[in-house]
Amino acid sequence: MANSLYTAAEVVKLGSALLTADLVLAASINRDYEDNYGGGHGTTVNVRVPAVLKAKKRDLTNSATTGQLSAFVVSALNETTFAIELDSNPYQKVALNQRERTFDLENFGEQVLAPQVASMVEEIEDSVATEFLALPETNSLTLGAYSPTNPTLTFSAIRKALRDNGMPMTGLRAAVGTKVWKDMVDAKVFSDLGANATNPAVPTSKNVGGFDAFETNRIGEEDIVFYHRDAFTLAVRSPEAPADGIVFAASLSANGFSLQHIQDYDSSIGQHTSLVQTFTGVSYLPARKIDRSGAEATIVEVPSAYRIDTGTAAA
**pTM of the shown model:** 0.79
> Residue 47 and residue 149: Cα distance in Å, rounded?
43
CB–CB of 221/314 below 8 Å? no
In degrees and rounded to multiples of 5, residue 208 shows phi and psi of -130, 115
The reported pLDDT for the residue numbered 21 is 60
The reported pLDDT for the residue numbered 250 is 78
The reported pLDDT for the residue numbered 200 is 46
User: Which amino acid is located at 67 in the chain?
Assistant: G
The reported pLDDT for the residue numbered 4 is 45
The reported pLDDT for the residue numbered 223 is 94
The reported pLDDT for the residue numbered 151 is 92
The reported pLDDT for the residue numbered 266 is 82
The reported pLDDT for the residue numbered 215 is 92
**pLDDT, mean of each 10-residue run, the chain (315 residues):** 48 63 83 66 68 81 81 81 81 85 76 85 92 85 79 92 91 95 90 50 69 93 95 85 72 76 83 88 87 80 92 68
The reported pLDDT for the residue numbered 2 is 42
Cβ partners under 8 Å of residue 309, min gap 6: 137, 139, 220, 222, 223
The reported pLDDT for the residue numbered 13 is 64
